[in-house]
A and B are shown apart, each in its own frame.
Chain A
Amino acid sequence: MKKMKFLLVMALLGLLVFSLAACGGGDASGSGDNGVVYRTVDEIKADGTINIGVFSDKNPFGYVDENGEYQGYDVYFARRIGEDLGVKVNFVSTEAANRTEYLQTGKVDIILANFTVTPERAEEVDFAAPYMNVALGVVSPSDRVIESLDDWAADDEMIVISGTTAETYLINNYPDIKLQKYDSYATAKNALENGNGAAWANDNTEVLAYALQNAGYTVGIPELGNQDTIAPAVSKGNATLLDWLNDEIVALGEENFFHEDYKATLADTYGMDYMESLVVEGGAQ
């Protein structure tokens, strides 16, 4: 009996500690009641270093080359930001899952990790003007190119990767198209090559790169459905940095900076044909 009581007390104590920890996290995630987490433009300049979160394994947007140097479309822009602010850039390797967290704790000043603008994310971070477009695309064998989804043959099947925006989009907008779902990029690729499906829908950057590397396949639909944009993000409420970034993006537009960026980093993968559809210049649209 004594033992039972003891165990009960333990369990309650454990629960208490646990809930306290949980509450602590919950409170702080509101609006920084423990002060401001972010650094203003002046503070960054005074410090001499800006922390920018980028991907380190998403070639060609943000990756590390064989000499250990960060490279890619996002990184090219990040370097320019450092140059124009007159500070050193400290690249922080981020993952898709922790990008928001880095901004909310002020551990980076800017996230430039192929961050797609969505209404949910906009509640947690502040997005600056966009610098790239992202949409869905459809690739199919060159001998039977699918150019529109409106006259889809009833017994054709569309290859998608589970959990991608392509899957959600097709289910919502083309419920009549039969989907073949695969778990990974590699299996979906095999399915297309074996002729299991008539076409493959995915992020357009992915299908464009695929068609360029594999002869005999053509992207019949380079832009499908609603187009999203990719933009730099700063901590919620960091107005000085947000304004500076927006001005910077407009100013860079005048020298066609993002076209240069595309030529330097993305042209090898996507070719020159898609420059106008992928690049957003001057934040305008």
Chain B
Amino acid sequence: MPDLGLSVLLKGKNMARLLGGLWVALRISLIAVAISLPLGILLGVLMAGKNRVVKAILRVYLEFIRIMPQMVLLFLGFFGTTRAFGWNISAELAAIIVFTLWGTAEMSDLVRGAIISIPRHQYESSQALGLNKRQTYFYIILPQAARRLIPLSINLITRMIKTTSLVLMIGVVEVLKVAQQIIEANRMTSPNAAFGLYLTVFVLYFLACWPISLLARYLEKKWR
């Protein structure tokens, strides 16, 4: 086996630092996910609804977030808010806010898509059974939409976890930045450390995202 420079992981507190970086990344993404899933579902239901004005506002919000690269959003959230309004929020809070805005926007569109994909006869059948609008939504439409949502939202959640690698641009030291720091600090003594460290980061991201995939598979089976 070629020398991957894995020995640098054992130097000092390097491994603990990497895990600390992973925790920072997970803290940002999971808080954002926890807020944006319910908010996204709420907005998605509104977007699938009939109110023109509400739909228009949500559409503008969605398009604005969607066309902006996450990097630009992070710069706007961290540096832009200081320039425009003089707010001085911490980099991590700025990252959580940006990720929440992004997650909510994308989630709402996924929910909207899932709801309008429920065939018309489902609405008509439940009406024929005498259910009112609210009951139709809660007992017929949303449970079916939820099942269709699982793979889509898993994609979004894992993407949110992985995109935390951008927050280093606003000074948050997360797992990838720690890896780069370790690689550079050992540039002279173990030039191969880059391979070993990126491999380790890959494994760490995998370990973080895999349980979410497992949960998704479990839910898909259970809700069949």
Contacts and interface: CB of A to CB of B under 8 A. Distances in A.
**Tier of interface size on chain A:** 35 or more
A278 to B, nearest CB: 17
B185 interface: yes
A237 to B, nearest CB: 15
Contact of A105 (B8, B82, B183, B187): B82
Given A57-B184, A67-B12, A97-B169, A107 B82 contact: yes
Given A18-B64, A57-B184, A59-B184, A25 B83 contact: yes
Q: Which of A37, A59, A66, A269 has the most CB of B within 10 A?
A: A66
Contacts of B75: 98, 101
B82 A21 contact: no
A25 B82 CA distance: 10
Nearest to B61: A17
B27 interface: no
Contacts of A98: 75, 79, 169-171
Contacts of B184: 57-59, 63
A165 interface: no
Interface in B69-108: 75-76, 78-80, 82-86, 88
Interface in A34-83: 34-35, 37, 56-59, 63-68, 71
A10 B168 contact: no
A93 B60 contact: no
Interface in B37-85: 56, 59-60, 63-64, 75-76, 78-80, 82-85
A107 B79 contact: yes
Contacts of A24: 80, 83-84
B187 to A, nearest CB: 5
Contact of A64 (B83, B84, B185): B185
Interface of A: 6, 9-10, 13-14, 17-18, 21, 24-25, 28-29, 34-35, 37, 56-59, 63-68, 71, 92-95, 97-98, 101-102, 104-107, 209, 213, 268-269
7 contacts: A56-B181, A92-B171, A98-B170, A101-B79, A104-B79, A268-B188, A269-B188
